[in-house]
Amino acid sequence: MLRFGPAGLPARMKKGDYRDAMPLLRSELGLDAIEVEFVRGVRMKPDVARETGELAREHDIAVTVHAPYYINLNAREPDKRERSRNHILASARLGKLLGARSVTFHAAFYLKMDRKKVYETVRDELKALAETLRAEDNPVLLKPELTGKPTQWGDLEEIVAVSEEIEGVEPCVDFAHYHARTAGGQNDYDHFCATLDYIASRLGRDALSRMHMHVAGIDYGPKGEKKHLNLEESDMRYVDLLRALKDFGVSGSLICESPNLEEDAMLLARTWRELE
């Protein structure tokens, strides 16, 4: 089944934390997924993560995790690259306690380097990270995200290619980022179908059964992503996207990153049900 939820705590929550969000999502909002945001730092205590995970299971909420923004596995400075590894591992370790299926992150910047060499660097870093998690018996999948700017490593071909090469790595497809990265392209039913078909052809149809996806309205220019927008205030053709996901039988989590968070997540869930 495809699940829907917000990236972070619902905006209507005036207090509380992710533990309080779990019953709210299911009973009041009709949502069944959430992304725990560590984008400003991995600061959740392990006992809170365990309790949050227990509540997620009790209320049947699928959890994903977003690691910190300040990650660059292609950094020139060894200490920056080491911190990037640690951010991802810390997110995945808490993700295991949360019962998360996957952790996503913006993996790297090209830094005007040769793209092939950058790919090899990121691939080797991801392979080492995946091996570390396997050695720790951590089932959380590493999901490098399709990024929104051409200066960022992580176009569709790159995130699929590393997923082919490394066990424990799969793509996180951000459809808004893809739209922005291509300066307004990749935004109709045929484009969405082509993306899903490409993933299935390279990684197998089974990859479509555990997708980690993002969507939002988005403002963009020649250099790609500028900022997220609410769906109805943007040109994002989300109905076409949902129809493509349905026609391909996609399962997993579709996480909404619009500024209004749960409102657009609820819009997506309602529209999905109406397409049945």
Domain CATH for 50: 3.20.20.150
**What is the structure's pLDDT at 69?**
95
Report the pLDDT value the prediction gives residue 262, as an integer from 0 to 100. 97
pLDDT at residue 107 in the model: 98
- Structural domain harbouring 185: 2-275
> Can you give the pLDDT at residue 55?
98
Strands (E) in the chain, as ranges, are 2-6, 33-37, 62-66, 102-105, 108-109, 141-144, 152-153, 172-174, 211-215, 217-221, 224-229, 252-256
Nearest alpha-carbon partner for 35 in 10, 57, 15, 12: 10
Q: Is pLDDT of 7 > 80?
A: yes
Number of domains in the chain: 1
In terms of phi and psi (left: phi > 0; alpha: psi -120 to 50; beta: otherwise), the region of 184 is left
CA-CA distance, 6 to 21, in Å (whole number)?
11
Strands 102-105 and 217-221: unpaired
pLDDT at residue number 14: 87
Evaluate if residue 193 carries a pLDDT over 90. Answer: yes
pLDDT tens sequence across 126-147 = 999 999 999 999 999 999 999 9
Rg, C-alpha atoms of the chain: 17
Q: 103 has which bridge partners?
A: 65, 142
Mean pLDDT, the chain, integer: 97
Measuring CA to CA, how many Å separate 48 from each of 26, 55, 97, 140, 252?
Answer: 20, 11, 9, 18, 25
Q: How large is the average pLDDT for residues 50-61?
A: 98
Residue 276 has pLDDT above 90, yes or no: no
Question: What span, in angstroms and rounded, lies between the C-alpha atoms of 55 and 200?
Answer: 33
Q: How confident is the model at residue 38 (pLDDT cuts 50, 70, 90)?
A: very high
φ, ψ for residue 228 (rounded to 5)? Answer: -80, 150
Share of residues in the chain with pLDDT > 90 (%): 99
Is the pLDDT score of 52 beyond 90? yes
Q: Are 140 and 133 in contact (CB under 8 A)?
A: yes
pLDDT above 80: residue 84: yes
pLDDT tens profile 238-261: 999 999 999 999 999 999 999 999
15: pLDDT strictly greater than 90: yes
Taking only the tens place, the pLDDT of each residue in 172-185 is 999 999 999 999 99
Give the mean pLDDT of 147-156.
Answer: 98
pLDDT one-digit tens code per residue, 87-125:
999 999 999 999 999 999 999 999 999 999 999 999 999
Average pLDDT on 24-30 reads 96
* Tokens, residue 261: 């968070």
